[in-house]
Structure 1
Amino acid sequence: MNHNISPKIIFGSGGTGGHIYTGIAIANELIKKIPKTNILFIGSKNRMEMQEIPRFGYSIEGICISGGKDKFFSISGFILSIQLINSLFVANKIIKKFSPDIVIGTGGFVSFPTLYAAKRNKIPILIQEQNSFPGLTNRIFSRYASKICVAYEQAKKYFQEEKTIITGNPVRSEILKLPSKEKACFHLGLKIKKPIILSIGGSQGSNSINNAWIKGLKKIIELDIQLIWQVGKFDIHKIKKNEISHHSNIIFMEFIENMPICYAAADIIVSRAGALTISEICLIGKPYILIPFPWSSNDHQNRNARILEEKEAALIIKNEEIENKLVSSVIKLANDYSMKKKMRKNILKLGKPKATNDIVNEILQIIL
C-alpha cells in the first residue's frame, strides 16, 4: 500500500447514529491504511453529526435538509421544497470545491443531495447499505454507484448483482477489542457478580423503553439487578426527577460516549433494532432483547430483528408490549443459563469482524 498518496474522500453521513458511526468507522480504517487521506463529511445542520463527527477529528460541512420516514422524498410543503433546492446547490458547491476522488453514501436523507452532486460531477460513488431492506436514497443511486456494500444477504436482491458485495456493517475498531468485564465494572462502579443490563434507546433515546424501565425499577432493584440506562435527551430531566432512578444499582445517562466499556460490563443488552447496534452486538456476542422501532422507514428495524430471531440469536418484544413485558423478559432471561448460552453462540455466528476492512478495500480499488 502506497502511504504517500493523498486521496480525497467525502462521506454523506448523518441523521442517526447508525449512519454517522458507519461513516466514522470507514474513515478511521481509511486513515489507518493511508494516513494522508483527506476526509470531509457532509451532514445535516442542527443534527447530532455536527457535534459527533468533529469529536472524532474529522471536518464536516452542514447542509440544511431534514427528513424522517421518507418525509424528504414526499415533499408537500414549501419549506421542504426550498430545503431540497438549497441542499442540492450547497452539496454541489462543496463537492466542486473539495474535488473528491470518491463520494461514499451511508444512507439517510443527507446522502441524497451529496450523492446527487457526486453523480452530477461524474465522481465515483460507493454505497454502504446497513439494513436488510435498503433505504430509498440507496435504491435510487445504486444504478450510478461503482460498488454497493451490503450488510445482509436479504438486501442483495434490490441491487445489481455484478456490483453488490456482502461485507456486513462496519464497526469502530474499539468494539473488536473490548476491555475485560472486571475493568469495565470497576470503571462504572458496578458489582461484577450481580446481573448487569445495558439498555440502549437509540441515538435520541426512547420514550417507550424509558417508561417500561420506570415502571419496573422497583422490581429490578429488589432483585439486585444492575442497569446501565441510556435515556436520551428528551427524557433525561424526567428520569433525574425520579428518586428511585438514583439508586446505586442504576446508572443513567443521556448519551453513552464510552460504548465499549458498557458493552464489556453487560450480561444482557436491550436495544432498538438499528443496523449498526445489531452488527456490534453480533461481534461481542451478548444475549440480546430487541425492541424494533415501529415507525422506522420501510419498517427496516422489524426486518433486521426478524433475521436474528429466526437464527435464535435474539428475543423480540413489540414496542406496544414493552411496558408489560420488558422487565419480566429481562428477569427470565437473566435466570436462564441455557438460553443465554445458545444466544451467545448463535449471535456470534452472524458477526462480520472484517466488514470495515473489506469496505475500505473496495473503496481503494475504485480510486487507486
Structure 2
Amino acid sequence: MKDNRSKRILFTGGGSAGHVTVNAAIIPSFIRDGWKVAYIGSVSGIESQLVDRMEGVDYYGIATGKLRRYKSLENLKDPFRVMKGVYQAYRILRKLKPDVLFSKGGFVSVPVVLAAWMNSIPILIHESDLTPGLANRIAIPFAQAVCVTFEQTAQTIKGDKAVHIGPILRNELRQGRASRGLNRCKFTPGKPVLLIMGGSLGASTINQMVRRHASKLADTYQIIHICGKGQLDGSIHIPGYIQFEYIHDELADVLACTDLVISRAGSNSIFEFLALHKPMLLIPLSKASSRGDQILNAQIFQQAGYCEVLLEEEMNDDNFLQALHTVFSQRGQIKEKMKRAESGDAMNKLIALIHNTSKQ
C-alpha cells in the first residue's frame, strides 16, 4: 500500500456553487493528510473562481457541454465539446495518475468521469438532491459508489451503489461570530436579520420581489441581500438594507447573525441552514427552468417543519409577505424542530469511503 503522502485525488464538478461546495468542504482534509490534490472543471465557470481561492489545489480547465432547457444551436455543438473534454481529461489523467476521482456532478463532470473510467481509476459520485441530475445519471454506471444526502435517493439508483452519507457541512460555517457579521454589515444588535440568498448566480425573480418591498421589510428586519453577480441595484438607499454580489470568507459570520433566510432550495444550502438552525422561506427553482429537484428538496423540508415553501410561479406580493411573516412568527418552533434533527458524521464517513475506494 502506498504511503498517504504520495496518494493523489482528483475532484470534479461545476456549473454552480452547489456543485463545488462538498468538494471544497473535504479538500482541506486531504491536503492536511499529504495527498496531492487536483481539480478539473470548466475553463471559466464558477468552479474555476472558487477553487482558485484554495491553496494546494492544481486546477485544470477543459471543454464542456451545458444542459439547456430551451432550443438553441449551441445544443448541436455540445456533443463535440464533450468529446473534446473527454480527450483533454484523458490526457490530464494520464499525467496525474490519481488514485481516485470524486465527482460532485454538473456537466463538466461527465467527460472527466468517462476519462477516469477509460484509465481504470476508481470513481465516487456525490448526489446532494433527492433525485440524481442528468450529469450524474450519465456517470453513475461508471462509478464504484454513489454517495447520497437523502435516504430516499437510494431508491432511485439501480444496484447496490448508493451509500447514504447525509449532508456535508463546511466546518468553517460553524465558526462564525454574530458580532463580526453585524459589524461587517453595520447593523445593530436586537433587530432581526433577514438573509436573502438566490444561489451562486442570483435569482432575479426573488431579487425583484425583495427590492419591491425593501422599505416595508426594513421596518421589521435588517436585510442582507446576496443578489448574484451583476445584479446589484445601486439605486436603492435604505437604512438597514445591504447588498452583496457574493460573500466568501465572511459567510460564516453573516450566517451567525442571521435570524431567518429566504433562499432557493439547493440541497447543500438548505442542509447548511438546517445545521445552523436558520428558519427558511424556500422559493425553489420552477419546473420551467429546472428538472424540479429543488421543489422536491423543499417539500421534504416543509414536511419536517423546517421551512415554508412558496412556488415561484405562484408567488405574488401578498403571499410572499404572508409566507415570510409565517416563518418569522413561527421561528421559535421551527428552530426547536431543527435542533432535534440528526446531523450525523457525514464528513468523516465520506472521507473514509474515499480512502477505502482509492487505489491500494
Pairwise same-fold verdict (TM > 0.5): yes
Other-structure match for 1:10:
10
User: Residues 67 and 30 of structure 1: is their aligned pair in 2 closer, same or farther, counting only changes over 3 Å?
Assistant: same
How many angstroms does 1:112 deviate by?
Answer: 0.4
1:251 partnered with 2:242:
yes
Structure 1: tracts of 5 or more residues without a match? none
SS in structure 2 at match of 1:43: strand
Other-structure match for 1:170:
168
Other-structure match for 1:62:
61
Other-structure match for 1:342:
333
How many angstroms does 1:161 deviate by?
Answer: 5.3
Q: Of residues 88, 105, 110 in structure 1, which corresponds to 2:86?
A: 88
1:226 partnered with 2:219:
no
Deviations 1:236-284, CA, capped at 9 Å, x for gaps: 2xx11x2xx3223011011111211111111111100011101211110
Other-structure match for 2:321:
327
How many angstroms does 1:66 deviate by?
Answer: 3.3
SS in structure 2 at match of 1:84: helix
How many angstroms does 1:110 deviate by?
Answer: 0.8
How many angstroms does 1:167 deviate by?
Answer: 0.9
Other-structure match for 2:305:
312
Other-structure match for 1:263:
255
Give the counterpart letter for 1:23 in structure 2. N
- Count residues with an aligned counterpart: 354
Measure the CA separation in 2 of the matches of 1:276 and 1:11.
Answer: 17
Other-structure match for 2:20:
20
How many angstroms does 1:320 deviate by?
Answer: 2.6
Other-structure match for 2:343:
352
Measure the CA separation in 1 of the matches of 2:325 and 2:132.
Answer: 35
Measure the CA separation in 2 of the matches of 1:101 and 1:281.
Answer: 33
Task: State the superposition RMSD in angstroms.
Answer: 2.2
SS in structure 2 at match of 1:10: strand
Q: Does the 8 A contact of 1:211 with 1:323 survive in 2?
A: no
Within 5 Å, give how 1:23-102 maps onto structure 2: 23-32=23-32, 34=33, 36-57=34-55, 58-68=57-67, 77-102=75-100
Other-structure match for 2:185:
188
SS in structure 1 at match of 2:196: strand
* % identical equivalent positions: 27
How many angstroms does 1:229 deviate by?
Answer: 0.2
Other-structure match for 1:209:
206
Q: TM-score, normalised by structure 2?
A: 0.92
Structure 2: tracts of 5 or more residues without a match? none
User: Residues 138 and 77 of structure 1: is their aligned pair in 2 closer, same or farther, counting only changes over 3 Å?
Assistant: closer
Q: Does the 8 A contact of 2:308 with 2:323 survive in 1?
A: no
Give the counterpart letter for 2:131 in structure 1. F
Other-structure match for 1:365:
356
User: Residues 349 and 43 of structure 1: is their aligned pair in 2 closer, same or farther, counting only changes over 3 Å?
Assistant: farther
Give the counterpart letter for 1:342 in structure 2. Q
Measure the CA separation in 1 of the matches of 2:223 and 2:102.
Answer: 37
Measure the CA separation in 1 of the matches of 2:48 and 2:74.
Answer: 27
User: Residues 187 and 9 of structure 1: is their aligned pair in 2 closer, same or farther, counting only changes over 3 Å?
Assistant: same
1:235 partnered with 2:231:
yes
How many angstroms does 1:301 deviate by?
Answer: 0.5
Moved more, 270-279 or 77-86: 77-86
Measure the CA separation in 1 of the matches of 2:53 and 2:166.
Answer: 25
Measure the CA separation in 1 of the matches of 2:148 and 2:326.
Answer: 35
Q: Does the 8 A contact of 1:29 with 1:357 survive in 2?
A: no
How many angstroms does 1:3 deviate by?
Answer: 7.5
How many angstroms does 1:293 deviate by?
Answer: 0.8
Measure the CA separation in 1 of the matches of 2:344 and 2:53.
Answer: 24
How many angstroms does 1:318 deviate by?
Answer: 1.2
User: Residues 293 and 126 of structure 1: is their aligned pair in 2 closer, same or farther, counting only changes over 3 Å?
Assistant: same
1:142 partnered with 2:135:
no
How many angstroms does 1:321 deviate by?
Answer: 3.7
Whose helix proportion is higher, 1 or 2?
Answer: 1
Deviations 1:130-174, CA, capped at 9 Å, x for gaps: 100111222233233222210001210122453322112322211
Measure the CA separation in 1 of the matches of 2:342 and 2:19.
Answer: 19
Measure the CA separation in 2 of the matches of 1:135 and 1:146.
Answer: 18
User: Residues 41 and 70 of structure 1: is their aligned pair in 2 closer, same or farther, counting only changes over 3 Å?
Assistant: farther
